A = this chain, B = another copy of it.
Amino acid sequence: MTPSSPSAPDDDERSPPLGWQAQKSASTRTQITEAAIKCFVEYGYSRTTTTLIAEKAGLSRGAMLHHFPSRLAVVRAAVEHLHSKRLRAFRKAVTKPSTDGDHVRQGVEAYWSHVRHPMFVAFFELAVAARSDKELASILRPAQEAFEREWHQAAVDVFPEWRGRGEKFDLALDLSRYVLEGMAISFLTHKETERDQRVLTYLDEKIRELAGLPKLADAPERK
């Protein structure tokens, strides 16, 4: 069932030979939660069984259930882990010094990269499953709300000059969120085309309009 070697040094085993049991335990726990997240992305939420998680983490199922007594406990930990990772990655993306001082472009790009990352897929799977699973919903809601607050705060930080013009600001935020998430979700089943680049460029343009910023001379290449 678990043919992998008992102590396969994964990417979380890089802790120095402090050899502490507590540290090893923590390392194993993150290994498990990350395996769970990978399973969400690869197999979807409902197909993520404890067996599958243990297999992907390179542990026996019994070992996993020692760290997390039940499936839900793993899910809980995975949600927290995913949330903090997501938050950290997003913060890093928006606080990165802008390459050309183009706040709009950077903000859009940051969230666009974010929603195309596997982490967003994992969170999306959880969100969809939570729609008809009240228990999961109660676990997910705090993390989701926290992320959205952070998202909004990041937007305020990126556009400090935009204070007071609340109505258009909110509109630009909502529009961006819906367009980018809608595109990202669409791309889960469809493949990207050149047309979609035009949508991103157009979104940039409209946000600038709403912000009262000057039009960009020409749209530079998007990666």
Contact = CB atoms under 8 A, between A and B. Distances in A.
Interface residues of A, number: 39
Chain A at the B interface: SS class: helix
Given A46-B46, A128-B125, A185 B181 contact: yes
B133 A44 contact: yes
Taken together, the copies of this chain in the complex come to 2
B47 A132 contact: yes
Interface in A111-146: 124-125, 127-133, 137, 144
Interface of A: 42-47, 124-125, 127-133, 137, 144, 167, 170-171, 174-175, 177-183, 185-186, 188-189, 195-196, 198-199, 202, 206
11 contacts: A44-B128, A46-B129, A125-B128, A127-B189, A131-B188, A131-B189, A167-B198, A171-B202, A178-B179, A181-B185, A206-B206
